[in-house]
């Protein structure tokens, strides 16, 4: 969807059109979900973050400044939510708040039905979850969304040089992990 169409939908929503908001959600729900899914490594947490992000969109679209693209704005919100989620998970794990049942549910719930994609997703989770959150973020945005460093910089607020270094380390680690997985 081009920017003009997106901006038109936002204005319509701000004027009270709920169907305009539904269209925005329909356009971005998969993007949000998959970004969260790759960042968090399971469907349950990705679902939580996806819903949170859409609710934020509903409440904060009025503060959207029409000088950046909606996708950049949505990625920024999703990334921040994911990183906050990872931090809170670390705290929960440290204090052993998460029980085994919840962890089992996380491992067993998923959207993908076909075997091949399921295996790929499992491999992807194993590899990505071993990367530090910041490296994971830049790896996902560059490798899967094919965003430029400038766009990623706008989303993450990091310098382009820092992002390149992060991506370099992320790539190296992914290669090592893939070799280990193979062996």
What distance in Å separates the CA atoms of residue 41 and residue 110, rounded to the nearest whole number? Answer: 10
Residue 30 CB coordination number (10 Å): 11
Specify the stretch interacting with other proteins by CB under 8 A; choose among 63-71, 79-87, 97-105, 163-171: 163-171
- Cα gap 58→91, rounded to integer Å: 29
Please tell me whether residue 143 binds other proteins under the rule CB under 8 A: yes
Q: What are phi and psi of 19, to 5 degrees?
A: -70, -30
Instruction: Report the largest interatomic distance among the alpha carbons of the chain, rounded to a whole angstrom.
Output: 58
For other proteins, how many residues bind (rule: CB under 8 A)?
A: 35
Min separation Cβ 167 and other proteins, Å: 5
- x/- mask, other proteins, residues 60-99, rule CB under 8 A, reads ----------------------------------------
7 is a contact residue toward other proteins (CB under 8 A): no
Q: Quick one: 83 or 171, whose CB is closer to other proteins?
A: 171
DSSP letter assigned to residue 16: T
Cα–Cα distance for residue pair 183/177, rounded to 1 Å: 10
* Spatial separation of the C-alpha atoms in residues 52 and 38, rounded to whole Å: 16
Query: Which one among 14, 97, 102, 111 touches other proteins, defined by CB under 8 A?
Result: 111
With binding defined as CB under 8 A, does residue 167 bind other proteins?
A: yes
Q: Which two tokens stand for residue 113?
A: 């039905």
Site residues, other proteins (CB under 8 A): 22, 25-26, 29-30, 33-34, 47, 50-51, 54-55, 58, 111-114, 117, 120-121, 123-124, 127, 143-144, 149, 164-165, 167-168, 171-172, 174-175, 178
């Amino acid at each position: 969807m081009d920017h003009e169409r997106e901006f038109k939908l936002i204005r319509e929503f701000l004027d009270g059109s709920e169907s305009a908001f539904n269209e925005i959600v329909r356009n971005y729900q998969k993007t949000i979900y998959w970004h969260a899914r790759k960042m968090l490594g399971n469907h349950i947490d990705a679902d939580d973050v996806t819903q949170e992000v859409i609710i934020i969109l509903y409440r904060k679209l009025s503060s959207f400044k029409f000088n950046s693209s909606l996708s950049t704005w949505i990625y920024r919100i999703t990334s921040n939510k994911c990183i906050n989620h990872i931090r809170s998970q670390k705290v929960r794990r440290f204090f052993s708040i998460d029980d085994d049942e919840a962890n089992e549910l996380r491992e067993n719930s998923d959207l993908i039905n076909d075997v091949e994609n399921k295996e790929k997703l499992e491999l992807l989770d194993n590899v990505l979850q071993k990367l530090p959150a910041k490296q994971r973020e830049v790896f996902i945005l560059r490798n899967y969304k094919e965003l430029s460093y400038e766009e990623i910089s706008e989303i993450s607020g990091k310098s382009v040089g820092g992002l390149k270094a992060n991506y370099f380390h992320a790539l190296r680690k992914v290669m090592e992990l893939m070799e280990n997985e193979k062996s």
